[in-house]
Structure 1
Amino acid sequence: MRRESVRGRVARGDSSKKIPKRGPLPSPEPVSDPKKPRNVVDYGLSRAADITNLHRGGALSSDFCEADPYLLKAAKFHGEKATGNCPACKGKKLVELNYIYGDELGPYAGRIRKASELPGMCNKFGEFRVYVVEVCPDCHWNYLLRKFSLGDGTPRRAVPSIPAEDLLD
């Protein structure tokens, strides 16, 4: 038995335990067009009902206008101009954010990407999910518009680390 100090605690046991090997990757999923969204869930009807409810007084504005400070900061620096005005305050600063998630993305999961960058990622990753959120920096309105999957269907191992040039993006 080996004893060693790790930040004031004593670790006991065999430190020569072997790390289990990763299993084989799943078989590829047939995808006709990697750039075409799959598994699309559009929250447009729910959004329309919530906006109607908000304007009729059936809902509090705080139910929809409570954007997280990090979401507001992301909207300020990374948001892409949305087509319409804010449904809550009628302001013209409404922006959309594309959050990407997926096991294959590794440390890149949870980042924001521009809509123009998504087609380029489709052939690099087997599958990743995109969540499109609209945010108004003025009244803090935020709403999940839609979510969908992209990718070429070929499973890959997760990206192991972030290259130095990507640390600041």
Structure 2
Amino acid sequence: MRNQRQIVDYGLQRLAVLRRYRAGFLTREDVCDAGPYLRQAARFHGEPAEHDCPVCGKSQLALVAWVYGDELGMASGSARNSAELERMANLFAEFTVYVVEVCHACGWNHLAMSYVLGTGEPGTGAPRSRPRSRKSAAP
């Protein structure tokens, strides 16, 4: 993305979790706990990562981008692919993207990074539809 800002990489936290898992402080159930909603999002909206699962090694990870922001309305809290993120970045002033890596085989998942997208200009959001006014019945 061309206008990513406020980028946070959670790679060190990921390494710490994997180190604790390999040392026996965490069980496989602790680290492979992706729920059905996250797994479905990975299947339909995820994009292939460059590496395989660090826990099972059987599957290439999928990266799922979740978007959050007041300006997004009903779209806030949904998974989006790269093309959708690019389109949204040109429509909205600011929203946050959280990228989660997910293993289809074992359920490993971890927050990989977060960043802010958008034009940075207030008032550039998509027009909101106004609720229809109710007509009162005349007596």
- Corresponding residue of 2:15: 48
In the alignment, structure 1 segments of 5+ residues that lack a partner are 1-33, 162-169
Deviation at 1:91, TM superposition (A): 1.6
Given the alignment, which residue of 37, 43, 48 partners 2:4? 37
Residue of structure 2 in register with 1:113 after alignment: 80
Alpha-carbon contact 2:92-2:126 (below 8 Å) kept: no
**CA spacing shift, 1:49–1:116, aligned 2, 3 Å:** same
Structure 2, unaligned stretches of length 5 or more?
130-139
Q: CA deviation at 1:159?
A: 5.3
**Residue type at the aligned position of 1:61:** R
Query: Which residue is equivalent to 2:132?
Result: none
1:160 pairs with 2:104: no
Which secondary structure state, in structure 2, belongs to the residue aligned with residue 112 of structure 1?
Answer: strand
Identical counterparts, % of pairs: 45
Compute the TM-score of the two structures, normalised by the length of structure 1.
0.69
1:106-145 maps to which residues of 2 (within 5 A)?
106-145=73-112
Computed over aligned residues only, the root mean square deviation of the Cα atoms, in angstroms, reads: 1.8
Which structure is larger by alpha-carbon Rg, 1 or 2?
A: 1
TM-score (norm 2): 0.83
- 1:70 equivalenced with 2:37 (yes/no): yes
Question: Relative to total residues, which structure has the larger strand share, 1 or 2?
Answer: 2
Instruction: Give the counterpart letter for 1:127 in structure 2.
Output: E
Q: Which of 32, 52, 58 is the equivalent residue of 1:91? A: 58
Question: Which amino acid in 1 is paired with 2:38?
Answer: L
**Is residue 59 from structure 1 mapped to residue 26 from structure 2 by the alignment?**
yes
Equivalences, count: 128
Higher helix proportion: 2
